[in-house]
A and B are shown apart, each in its own frame.
Chain A
């Protein structure tokens, strides 16, 4: 495209880059500030909020891991997020198989009900979730969070996996039926392996949600045995009252898994966000 390079064009072009770079800075600088602060001494932090550490304080990370019962909380988070991902993808892939590959009356209504769940504000369910979990004896257990996180992600996972399974050509399945594949084999040998990419997308969303979730974890757990890392950095910060740099180190440790998942799977995440836009 040949643009006439008038003064107005230069002005608009400059404005464009100012906007793009400002937003880039807003997305990245808070995280960079956190990273740099986690490597400074508390004295350095007190003197000025900015500045490079005179010497990298890796000891802050050792302090964080020692002081905040961080290893236990991290382990709980890993167990909760991994279990929620497995449970969620298992049950939603089964349902999505029926909702995408089987034909019967009422199928679309079931699909609409499940996916409409995404419109419901889950925070309005604080009272019933608390009541349900307490009465079922799951209060302050990892199971409480595993079940809630798997359930809350049902609408998104059903949407993503059903859309993916629908895109698999019919011919592949028909060939399998002629070869004598029954219902279960069609699911486990044909559709499930072909849906791997869709399942990874759903699992990524479920993992990031479960790893980062705070409100329900605060509501449904009360002791270190079942609390997750997000509560750790929120509530155990009293331990750090004079040691901000170690607290920032703890925060950095907790965001590494999310950033790691994003670096490796950002194509899947962006693809998942636009599934509707492309296929709808």
Chain B
């Protein structure tokens, strides 16, 4: 195409005009906050007054802070449970549904349903379910004669209880894995059947290897979500009892609430590094996966 210089200029003006709104929003809500968080983590800022530079003091303080350590440990437990229990379970369900048993499309739709309902509402229901006089204790009491437990109030069971309720969110990983499994060519299975491979052998030698890339993506993503976990724990226990369920996000919030802004920023830097850099690193180590499926929430 032969464009006159004037036309070329105007097309560039139009392009910039169209990109400008998103760029401005992206700058103010992604780039600036990132720089701000990193910068204030090296200062002793408390929300008002100047930002005096204090080097790595916040980092030292945070690493030695027992509540932050507890939070980091809990986030690691979260990440492992999400990556090595949640995703394999989602994968198992996807492998069942890809064979299209009766009602598979309905099941797929319902399994994703909890993902569209507000965490506030679901957290409230789970608090009621775990209540001493709640449905869970009633069921366990009737079936096994178990004594009623205060699931969320007891430091020994609280973390397990808040992690367990995330099983209702397997729908997202299941849908991504199912879409990937549906793309496996049917001819592979037909050839295997001719060779006399059982269903189990087909799953083991065809489905799983073909899903490898998507599995790595979903596991990495699930672990990153585990590292940044905040909302349902905050709503169900506020991080208690006695910090038993606290996470880095909750620690950040509590520090911010106590006007320890730069310490909160330091916790934020840890969150970004552990939640984001880890993804990139794992992707580098395990090689190419499916970056696109990471995009949808």
- A interface residue numbers (CB < 8 A to B): 1, 3, 16, 19-20, 23-24, 26-28, 30-31, 33-34, 37, 46, 48-50, 90-92, 94-95, 97-98, 102, 104, 110, 113-115, 117-121, 123-132, 147-148, 150-152, 154-156, 158-160, 163, 183-184, 187, 205, 208-209, 211-212, 214-215, 230, 233-234, 237, 244, 247, 251, 254-255, 258-259, 261-262, 266, 269-270, 272-280
Contacts and interface: CB of A to CB of B under 8 A. Distances in A.
Interface of B: 10-11, 14-15, 18-19, 21-23, 25-26, 28-30, 32-34, 36-37, 40, 47, 92-93, 96, 101, 107-114, 116-122, 124-126, 128-129, 131, 133-135, 138, 167-168, 170-172, 175-176, 179-180, 183, 193, 199, 214, 224, 227-228, 230-231, 234-235, 249, 252-253, 256, 261, 264-265, 267-269, 271-272, 275-276, 279, 290-297
- Nearest first, the 8 closest Cβ-Cβ pairs linking A and B are A276-B292, A280-B292, A151-B29, A274-B179, A128-B33, A212-B118, A124-B268, A121-B228
A279 B296 CA distance: 13
Contacts of A272: 296
15 contacts: A16-B101, A24-B111, A26-B167, A90-B21, A98-B19, A125-B34, A126-B268, A151-B26, A151-B28, A215-B230, A234-B235, A273-B112, A274-B179, A274-B296, A276-B291
Nearest to A201: B296
B199 A3 contact: yes
User: Chain A CB within 10 Å — which of B117, B124, B175, B228 has the most?
Assistant: B117
Contact of B30 (A98, A117, A150, A269): A117
Looking at A37, A49, A97, A261, the one whose CB has the most chain B CB atoms below 10 A away is A49
> Which of B37, B138, B295, B297 has the largest number of chain A CB atoms within 10 A?
B295
Contacts of A277: 176, 179-180, 183, 214, 290, 292-293
A255 B272 contact: no
Nearest to A99: B19
Contacts of A49: 128, 131, 133-135, 138
A158 B171 contact: no
Contacts of A214: 118-120, 231, 235
Given A151-B26, A230-B118, A126 B175 contact: no
A247 B176 CA distance: 35
Interface SS majority for chain B: helix
Contacts of B93: 19-20, 23
Given A27-B114, A98-B18, A119-B224, A148 B29 contact: yes
A120 B30 contact: yes
Nearest to A237: B124
A147 to B, nearest CB: 7
A50 B97 CA distance: 32
A251 B153 CA distance: 23
Given A254-B118, A259-B116, A124 B37 contact: yes
Nearest to A1: B193
B15 A102 contact: yes
A16 B95 CA distance: 11
Given A20-B107, A24-B110, A158 B22 contact: yes
Given A124-B272, A272-B296, 6 more contacts: A30-B125, A102-B15, A125-B33, A160-B296, A247-B124, A254-B118
Nearest to B29: A151
Contact of B22 (A24, A154, A259): A154
Contacts of A46: 133
